[in-house]
Structure formats: C-alpha cells, structure tokens
Amino acid sequence: MHSMSVVIGGQWGDEGKGKIVDCLVPEVDVVIRYQGGANAGHTVKVGEKKFVLHLLPTGILHEKVRCLLGGGMVVDTWALLEELDELKANGVDADSRVYLASSAHLVLPFHRRIDELREKSLQRKNIGTTGRGIGPTYEDKMSRMGLRVGDLLLPDENLRRLVIEKVLRANQYLAARFDAPAMAAEAIGSEIVEHAQRLRPMIVDSFDFLAPVRAGAWRALLEGAQGTLLDIDHGSYPFVTSSNCTVGGALTGTGLPPQLIDRVTLVLKAYCTRVGNGPFPTELHGEEAEALRQAGHEFGATTGRPRRPGWFDAVAARYAAEINGATEIALTKLDVLTGLEQVKVCTAYTLDDKTIDSFPADAAQLERCKPVYTELPGWSVDFSAIKDYRELPENARAYVATLEKLIGCRVRYVSTGPQREQFIDRDQAASVQNRSLGTA
Ligand code: GDP
Ligand code: IMO
Ligand code: MG
C-alpha cells in the first residue's frame, strides 16, 4: 500500500492520466491536483458516460474520495462552478468532497483575454495555448500581484472592491498593449462575490487539511496535469505551459514532503501526440497522421483541436522517466496500434550530423533533431477485453518489452481501451478483475 503516489504525464499531455488516476483511486483517501488549471482535460469513460475533468481531480468520480485543488493550481471559478454543476447533472454530487487550497491563484476573465490577445499578436510564432488564461495568471502570481482563493473569504464588499481594482489595472494594460476595450469591472466584481458565496465552505488551509497525509492516516494520490515535455523548466521552452508538471511541482504544489512519495507512475501513450505548437521529432504527416488521429480519437479534450500524432519517442520517454524518478510506467492506448503491420519506435536522434540519445530541452535544438527508428512487427488480434497480460499478442508484449528496455523502467499497467475496466495491472491481474470499481 502506498502512502503517497504521484501520477505524471511523460509526454506532451493527453497521455491518459485521467484514465490511470481513475483506476488507481480505489487505493487512496485523497486526490490532489498540484498544478495547472482548466487547460487540462482528463477523460474517464464509465459505461456510456464520458466525464471530462478540467479543474477537479479525477478522484471525484469515486464516492468516498476527497479531492483537493492544490495551492500550485490556478483556479477559474467560472469553469469550476460549471464543472461542479455538470457533474451534479450527471449524478455526481461533488460539492461536499471538493476542497480548495487557499493559496491557489484565481484566474480572472482578463487573464483569459490577455492570453487570447497575446496569442493573436504573436501570429505564426504563437504557442497555441488553450486560451484558458494560464500564462497570465501565473505571471501575476510570480509578480506578486495575483488574487488567491483565500481572498474569496473576504467580506463581500471588500472582495468586490479588490477585484474591481485588479480589473481596472488590467484594463490599462489591455488598452496600452492591445488597444483593446475595457472589461466590465463592476460586473466581474459582483460575479466573483456570487462565486465566493458558493465556494467559501470548500476553502481550506492545505497544510492543515493535509495533516492526516503527513501523519500516515490518509493515502494520497497527486494528479499531474499536462506532461513532462510541457514543463516550464524541463520542457521545450517557450512551447510549454506555465507550471511545473514534473515531480518537483507535486511537492511545491501541495506542500507535502518528498519522503512521503513512494510511487511515481509515469503515464505514457503507446505513441505520441502534441496539441499546440512546438518541436515534435517523431511527428507524422499526411495520411499516416490522419489514420493514427482517427484510430486514437486524437482531438483535444479541452479545445477540440486535432492533436498532432507521431511514433513513440523513447529518447523523450527516458528523459521523462529520469526527471521524475519514475518507479513504474502506465502504458495507455496500446490497443490503438492494433492492426498496423509495423510499429516504429524512436531510439535516438541525429542532430547536426551527430547521433545523440539524450533529449535536448532546448526548443531550437529539438526542432533540428531527426528521429532514428527501430521497426517492430505489429499485431492484429483485438485484446481490448483481456485482463491477463500474458494473453496479449506476442508482438504487443515484445513492443512493451522494447519500450521498457529503452526507457529503463518497468511497465506495470497497460490500458487497453478508454473504459475503466480496460486496464491490466501486471502485478494484480486477478484482484483487479474482482475489485469494486467505485461509483459513477
Ligand atoms: P489526459 O489529459 O492525460 O487525462 O488524457 P485525455 O483524456 O486528454 O486523452 C486521452 C484519451 O484517450 C481520452 O479520450 C481517453 O478516454 C482515451 N483513452 C485513455 N486510455 C485509453 C486506452 O488505453 N485506449 C484507448 N483507445 N483510449 C484510451
Ligand atoms: P492535459 O492535462 C495537452 C498545451 C497547449 C499549448 C501549451 C501551453 O489534458 O494533458 P497553456 O494553455 O497551458 O498556456 O498552453 O500547452 N497544453 C496541453 N496539451 N494536454 C494538456 O493538458 C495541455 N494543457 C496545455 O496546447 O501547446
Ligand atoms: Mg487531456
């Protein structure tokens, strides 16, 4: 039994973190998102129902689990209330199990507007953000000008005035930088007060709230958003998000001590995708790309944008495993590769006529990297209902073994489809088959 697990995306996001967290949640008492905001889109399929979570930790789909939006997050209260209402409409009463760290920052409508206008002004050099105001909110946090979730506890009139002050300051910037019209300060101030009235009971001091985790009474799962290669420090800057998606972010974004971490599950998709701009050495184009996009339904869970597909990049995956200290891998979407005659894996890059096997986080260097591939034979047998790893087609197992060797880390979990039950735990095949899968 683990006291603290961290689940981290090992590629450019959308690896299937939501699905893996959902499968691991029955083992824990609290799930904590530690960074990012409503830029995330974590999908879980339960029977005919599909849940896409943007701000709430995926644990919310399990009845007894508490969920904390950690201090490292940026919280858009408009998006949060919409998400809570949507869950309620689908029979999940989340309000009583959601906790908001008072130190998390608030995304305000002008952050979204600045994000959008800045992207437009960059034209073809834009990052391709999700437009959720993530960068501008983290900027305000770092420049110590931000509003925090804890500010929602102020008396209504003080809160309203504080928000109006922030909007008026942002209006000056919008006018000077983009010649953009002013935003309605009074209206935004009043809306935030309304949001505060509903959200106040959920706000906690996360240090106090997490005391049972430190005392060993609660098992915690820390849910990463985005992926290692989108990390502000360790990704291909500037084509990254504005937070630390990697294991360091799990510590700063929760305030929990490193010694408690006894499991780091790196989620890797059996091929790669990227949404937004930036270098992507194994990217496919044309018909091959379209076939993989269609087979894997690779369209953004947040923005609906088509994702850019490519072959599995073992150089990048090894980098992600090492940066995060991965103790195990959860491999998703292996089923999507079924039916291909051959499957390629990138084992090294050529960069300026040299062969390298380390991942350059510098975007300009990564842009010049050309993949060196090894080709493996494909498989054609549908295994999406199989629960025992040994029953996978031999070539699929050989593919997994090749990845393990190249990455230097064991694949413990294999996800064989979007549904909850389509999940193999190589260590506990039998007990997984029989366990109760929570509610929702
Ligand atoms: P996340 O952001 O990392 O949680 O991933 P997303 O939810 O954005 O994207 C993953 C997509 O793949 C979702 O539509 C999932 O329902 C789906 N998915 C997850 N695991 C599997 C799998 O093993 N096989 C298939 N076919 N789909 C999967
Ligand atoms: P999940 O948690 C994939 C990408 C955007 C853009 C860059 C910066 O579902 O894996 P931002 O809006 O964060 O300033 O955009 O990061 N991006 C994601 N790509 N999955 C995500 O989240 C992402 N969140 C942000 O496309 O390239
Ligand atoms: Mg996603």
Note whether 313 and 403 are within 8 A (CB).
no
Cβ-count burial of 353 within 10 angstroms (0-12 exposed, 13-18 middle, 19+ buried)?
Answer: exposed
Which is the catalytic residue, given 22, 42, 62, 195?
42
Confidence band for 16, pLDDT divided at 50, 70 and 90: very high
Note whether 29 and 62 are within 8 A (CB).
no
Can you give the pLDDT at residue 276? Answer: 92
Can you give the pLDDT at residue 1? Answer: 62
Helix (H, G, I), strand (E, B) or coil at 281: coil
Q: What is the pLDDT of residues 62-114, one digit of tens each?
A: 999 999 999 999 999 999 999 999 999 999 989 999 999 999 999 999 999 99
Domain coordinates of the chain in residue numbers? 4-91+206-430, 105-202
Pocket of ligand 1 (CB under 6 A): 9, 13-19, 41-43, 45, 297, 301, 332-333, 335-336, 415-418
Tally of CB atoms within 10 A around 233: 14
Can you give the pLDDT at residue 436? Answer: 43
31-46: average pLDDT: 97
CATH number of 4-91+206-430: 3.90.170.10
Q: What is the pLDDT of residues 274-320, one digit of tens each?
A: 999 999 999 999 999 999 999 999 998 888 899 999 999 999 999 99
Confidence band for 434, pLDDT divided at 50, 70 and 90: very low
Helix (H, G, I), strand (E, B) or coil at 413: strand
Q: What is the rounded CA–CA span in Å between residue 333 and residue 22?
A: 15
Nearest to 437, CA basis, from 57, 61, 29, 168:
61
Atom of ligand 1 nearest to the CA of 21: 4
Q: For residue 337, give every residue at least 6 positions away whose Cβ sits within 8 Å of its Cβ, in sequence order, or none.
A: 270, 271, 343, 378, 379, 396, 399
105-202 CATH choice from 1.10.10.10, 1.10.300.10, 3.30.70.260, 3.90.550.10 = 1.10.300.10
Can you give the pLDDT at residue 27? Answer: 86
Q: What is the pLDDT of residues 165-216, one digit of tens each?
A: 999 999 999 999 999 999 999 999 999 999 999 999 999 999 999 999 999 9
Q: What is the DSSP letter of 199?
A: H
Can you give the pLDDT at residue 440? Answer: 39
Q: What is the pLDDT of residues 321-354, one digit of tens each?
A: 999 999 999 999 999 999 999 999 999 999 999 9
**Ligand closest to the CA atom of residue 12:** 2
Residue 42 appears among annotated catalytic residues? yes
Residue 14 appears among annotated catalytic residues? yes
Cβ(134) to ligand 2 under 6 A? Answer: yes
Q: What is the pLDDT of residues 51-66, one digit of tens each?
A: 999 999 999 999 999 9
Q: For residue 412, give every residue at least 6 positions away whose Cβ sits within 8 Å of its Cβ, in sequence order, or none.
A: 265, 328, 329, 330, 425, 426, 427
Atom of ligand 1 nearest to the CA of 13: 3
Can you give the pLDDT at residue 200? Answer: 98
**Ligand closest to the CA atom of residue 15:** 1
Cβ(132) to ligand 2 under 6 A? Answer: yes
Nearest to 398, CA basis, from 382, 414, 379:
379
pTM of the prediction?
0.96
**Ligand closest to the CA atom of residue 126:** 2
Can you give the pLDDT at residue 329? Answer: 98
Can you give the pLDDT at residue 258? Answer: 97
Q: What is the pLDDT of residues 241-282, one digit of tens each?
A: 999 999 999 999 999 999 999 999 999 999 999 999 999 999
- d(CA 245, ligand 3 centre) in Å: 13
